[in-house]
């Protein structure tokens, strides 16, 4: 479900017409629907309610402090992957008892920062990290809690760049040797292994990887307990897919049906780290057409959002639905299936102003004719949009607006030219 809908041929976010927001805040503009976001968070909380999970929002997905605070106030904790993300989690009101920390390359300073804040546990991804954490904990006079992040070595399940549980990626501990490693950690004075973690990759559109991962996980938990570890947590990570094209994603209940019984069997507390599922379809990117042109047998729609605003198409060949915000009378209505051949449309490449041939939001896309000045909406842009944005080509990062019913608030202002050069030294 999302609360972006056409009313009288004008795209609205909840009760706010997008052209009004583009007018007020300029473009490119990320627009988020508060009630869509909370609805998706609640879907996960409800589906997994029988095991009272700790839902740790994956902060990297969309790190705006206002969105994080909103989720915290509605019961979420945070999954962080860097000291900067931990800083944001705390800034959003988060406290250690709802924070977990992942990542293959945590520095001593990051480990110390997590320890100081008494986070639930570190998702540890290598032997080196475990012993470094032990040293840091010792010097801080603390004992660190750890979930071993294992790479369960499953068949490929998503784009090669976002699959984290196949052999040969950098993530996690090798499932074939994790027990030998765990044995060496049994009597560590400053590290306690309290959980098992796996994050399988993203986006995942089937329950099968979770089923397979769980099976391996349950087996490991049993063996870890036999070694003398008190395993209290099973962390199944994030990865739940969303509807980018049509209705391809599964509801949270489908994942719960597989995961909940496994967690009960393991007698563990469940931790989840959803990101995309919560914010992905809670956001759109609104842009304005600057020019159109025909060249080399192609039709180009050049608009003011670019790869620096939304890099997913460039990086992962991702599909985002794109449609005019206010299609003129007589133009086709937004289709159910954006990939079908549609009368009244023409195949267009939707590109931005950045000096890269890889700068596009869509290629060979059926779009109604649009003109200079028209607004476009790129859907499902709430996750890994602003989060992965940059200043490439010295472009100013977009503004972000949060809509709640008929109210809208700026939650990040558009950058200025001064922002661009502020950290640079005058020498």
Any contact of residue 61 with ligand PLP (CB under 6 A)? Answer: yes
Query: Residue 338 has which token pair?
Result: 């954006």
The number of residues in the chain equals: 427
Q: How far apart are the first and last CA of the chain?
A: 53
Q: Restricting to residues 344-383, name those near ligand PLP by CB under 6 A.
A: 383
Instruction: Give the pair of three-digit tokens for residue 109.
Output: 């300073």
Q: How far is the CB of 312 from ligand PLP (least distance, A)?
A: 12
Binding test (CB under 6 A) with ligand PLP, winner from 13, 63, 77, 79: 79
**Contact stretch for ligand PLP (CB under 6 A) within 84-92, 238-246, 283-291, 338-346:** 238-246
Q: How far apart are CA 12 and CA 404, in angstroms?
A: 12
Q: Which of 77, 239, 262, 385 binds ligand PLP (CB under 6 A)?
A: 239
Of 134, 275, 283, 382, the one binding ligand PLP by CB under 6 A: 275
Q: Which residue is nearest to ligand PLP (CB)?
A: 238
Backbone φ and ψ for 107, nearest 5 degrees, come out as -80, 165
By the rule CB under 6 A, 203 interacts with ligand PLP: yes
Q: Does 85 bind ligand PLP (CB under 6 A)?
A: no
Across 272-299, b (16+ Cβ under 10 Å) vs e yields bbbbbbbbbbbbbbbbbbeebeeeeeeb
The structure tokens listed for 93 are: 């009101």
Q: Judged by CB, which is closer to ligand PLP: 199, or 229?
A: 199
Q: Which stretch binds ligand PLP (CB under 6 A): 70-78, 195-203, 298-306, 386-394?
A: 195-203
* 217 near ligand PLP (CB under 6 A): no
Span of 57-65, 104-112, 209-217, 243-251 interacting with ligand PLP by CB under 6 A: 57-65
With binding defined as CB under 6 A, does residue 106 bind ligand PLP?
no
CB 62 within 8 A of CB 279: yes
Measured from the Cβ of residue 405, the count of other Cβ atoms closer than 10 Å reads: 12
Minimal distance in Å, beta carbon 238 to ligand PLP?
A: 3
DSSP reduced 3-state for 59: helix
Selection from 273, 342, 354, 344 nearest residue 310 by Cα: 354
Could you give the 3-state DSSP secondary structure of residue 288? strand
Residue 1 to residues 305, 340, 342, Cα–Cα distance (Å): 25, 22, 24
Is the four-CA dihedral 198, 252, 156, 160 of positive or negative sign? negative
Residue 60 in the binding site for ligand PLP (CB under 6 A): yes
> Is residue 152 near ligand PLP by the rule CB under 6 A?
no
Cα–Cα dist 175/152, whole Å: 6
Among 213, 274, 283, 313, binds ligand PLP (CB under 6 A): 274
Decide: is 58 part of the binding site for ligand PLP (CB under 6 A). yes
Tokens at 228, concatenated = 């003398």
For 256, the token pair is 């719960």
In the bound state with ligand PLP, the residue whose beta carbon lies nearer, of 204 and 403, is 204
Active site residue 56: no
The site string for ligand PLP over 3-42 (x = CB under 6 A, - otherwise) reads ----------------------------------------
Residue 213 in the binding site for ligand PLP (CB under 6 A): no
The smaller minimum CB distance to ligand PLP, of residues 34 and 123, is found at 123
According to DSSP, the β-strands at 375-378 and 322-324 are antiparallel
- Catalytic residue numbers read 355
Contact residues toward ligand PLP (CB under 6 A) are: 58, 60-61, 79, 81, 102, 199, 202-203, 237-240, 273-277, 383
């Amino acid at each position: 479900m999302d609360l972006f809908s056409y009313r009288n041929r004008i795209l609205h976010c909840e009760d706010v017409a997008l052209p009004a927001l583009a007018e007020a805040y300029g473009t490119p503009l990320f627009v988020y629907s508060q009630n869509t976001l909370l609805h998706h968070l609640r879907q996960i909380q409800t589906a997994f309610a029988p095991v009272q999970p700790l839902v740790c929002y994956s902060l990297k997905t969309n790190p705006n402090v206002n969105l994080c605070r909103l989720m915290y106030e509605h019961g979420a904790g945070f999954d962080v992957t860097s000291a900067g993300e931990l800083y944001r989690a705390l800034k959003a009101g988060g406290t250690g008892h709802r924070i977990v920390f992942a990542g293959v390359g945590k520095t001593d300073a990051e480990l110390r920062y997590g320890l100081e804040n008494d986070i639930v546990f570190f998702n540890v991804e290598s032997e080196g990290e475990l012993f470094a954490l032990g040293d840091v904990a010792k010097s801080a006079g603390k004992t660190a809690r750890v979930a071993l992040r294992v790479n369960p070595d499953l068949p490929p399940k998503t784009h090669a760049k976002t699959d984290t549980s196949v052999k040969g990626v950098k993530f996690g501990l090798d499932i074939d040797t994790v027990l030998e490693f765990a044995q060496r950690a049994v009597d560590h004075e400053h590290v306690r292994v309290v959980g098992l973690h796996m994050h399988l990759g993203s986006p995942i559109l089937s329950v099968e990887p979770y089923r397979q991962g769980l099976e391996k996980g349950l087996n490991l938990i049993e063996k870890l307990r036999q070694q003398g570890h008190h395993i209290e947590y099973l962390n199944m990570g994030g990865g739940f897919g969303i509807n980018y094209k049509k209705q391809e994603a599964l509801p949270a209940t489908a994942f719960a049906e597989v995961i909940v019984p496994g967690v009960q069997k393991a007698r563990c507390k469940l931790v989840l780290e959803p990101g995309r599922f919560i914010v992905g379809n809670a956001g759109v990117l609104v842009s304005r057409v600057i020019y159109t042109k025909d060249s080399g047998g192609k039709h180009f729609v050049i608009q003011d959002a670019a790869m620096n605003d939304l890099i997913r198409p460039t990086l992962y060949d991702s599909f985002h639905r794109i449609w005019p915000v206010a299609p003129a009378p007589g133009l086709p209505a937004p289709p159910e299936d954006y990939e079908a051949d549609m009368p009244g449309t023409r195949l267009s490449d939707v590109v931005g102003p950045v000096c890269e041939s890889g700068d596009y939001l869509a290629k060979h896309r059926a779009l109604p004719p649009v003109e200079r000045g028209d607004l476009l909406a790129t859907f499902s842009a709430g996750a890994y949009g602003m989060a992965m944005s940059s200043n490439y080509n010295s472009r100013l990062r977009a503004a972000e607006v949060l809509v709640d019913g008929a109210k809208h608030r700026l939650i990040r202002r558009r950058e200025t030219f001064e922002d661009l050069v502020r950290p640079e030294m005058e020498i």
